[in-house]
Amino acid sequence: MNWKLELVSVPVSDVDRAKQFYTEKIGFNADHDHQVTDELRFVQLTPPGSACSIAIGSGMPQAEPGSVRGLQIVVADVAAAREELAGRGVEVSEVQEFPWGTFVFFADPDGNGWALQQLPDWR
């Protein structure tokens, strides 16, 4: 049996601001944006090439906005990804190298923490 992680909830305080950040600054695809009821809005966003999406919205049970840390996206070239994000106005860390990979860190407008990782060549 396969177990696939396909959706992670990211708590935000302003859905429109977060959607704009993730689509325009980070480059995620906007898959769904549904106002289900007056109280419930569901937005699904997916990084290009990813099988896992994030969900933001209002009226959904969620943690405190900005409380998620450690979200990680694997990229082929972290330096190029850093340049792309910086060029779009995202505040990103310098490239940091560790034995388990090379990383760049950033946060969304609420402070949810993200990492871009380039895996080491372990061949």
The pair phi, psi for residue 9, each rounded to 5°, is: -80, 130
pTM, whole model, 2 decimals? 0.92
> Residues 32-39: what's their mean pLDDT?
96
Task: Give the separation between CA 118 and CA 96, rounded to whole angstroms.
Answer: 10
Residue 103 lies inside a defined structural domain of this protein? yes
Residue 39 lies inside a defined structural domain of this protein? yes
Residue 2 lies inside a defined structural domain of this protein? no
β-strands 7-9, 29-35 pairing: unpaired
pLDDT digits (tens, 9 = 90+) for 83-110: 999 999 999 999 999 999 999 999 999 9
Domain of 108, CATH number, reads 3.10.180.10
Contacts of 112 (CB under 8 A, 6+ apart): 10, 11, 12, 65, 66, 67, 68, 69, 71
pLDDT surpassing 90 at residue 123: no
| Domain count of the fold of the chain | 1
pLDDT digits (tens, 9 = 90+) for 66-76: 999 999 999 99
Residues spanned by the domain of 16:
7-59+67-118
